[in-house]
Amino acid sequence: MRLVLASNNQKKVVELRALLAGLGVDVVSQRELGISEAEEPHLTFIENALAKARHAAAASGCAAIADDSGLCVDALGGAPGVISAHFAPLVAATADREAQRQAQDAANNALLLQRLDGVADRRAHFVSTLVAVRRADDPQPLVATGRWQGEILNRARGVQGFGYDPLMHIPALGHTVAELDAAQKNAHSHRAQAMAQLLPLLRDVWLL
């Protein structure tokens, strides 16, 4: 069975591949298949994840899994939430998609620090909603959600990961997410928590 990862974010694809290891399926990214990114117009993580999974399944003719994730900051009323990837004004498009993504991450982090300047309550959590569909019109998508609690620092620490990882401090681990290696992140993250719920469903419902 081929399972398409509905993401063009290479670092997210690497994380999802590692979390799906051992499932016994052929995992490919939509980028490898030349599939464009889906529109994400919705107000909730689950609706956007479902839209992305259906888009990848329709374009590939295969089963697909999508992650819609983001950072929710208590003092900002849950923002940036579903617009986490584009919290700051969009960075100009370039031929190097990874460089463009890194520039957007830097702009997003800068805006977050600006919005939290002088704010004492730094509580926040990462959210990941995973949706898997066997085909584009699957009436029974599999859904799982994970949440990872932390706090936003006043400055970035660490060089691993992506997005808001350098600002997101996990008190229970004593490090920012960007200071964790891949194995540590995949043992604790919001995506890891969501995948821990999804894998039994894939095995029990899809019989993988």
Active site residue ranges: 68
Query: Half-sphere exposure of residue 108, counting CA atoms within 13 Å on the CB side?
Result: 24
Q: Tokens for 172?
A: 């229970």
Residues 6+ apart with CB under 8 A from 105: 162, 163, 164
> Torsion over CA of 144, 148, 149 and 152, rounded to 10 degrees?
-130
d(Cα 71, Cα 79) in Å, to the nearest integer? Answer: 7
d(Cα 133, Cα 151) in Å, to the nearest integer? Answer: 33
Instruction: Tell me how far CA of residue 188 lies from CA of 19, 95, 149, 202, in angstroms.
Output: 11, 34, 10, 20
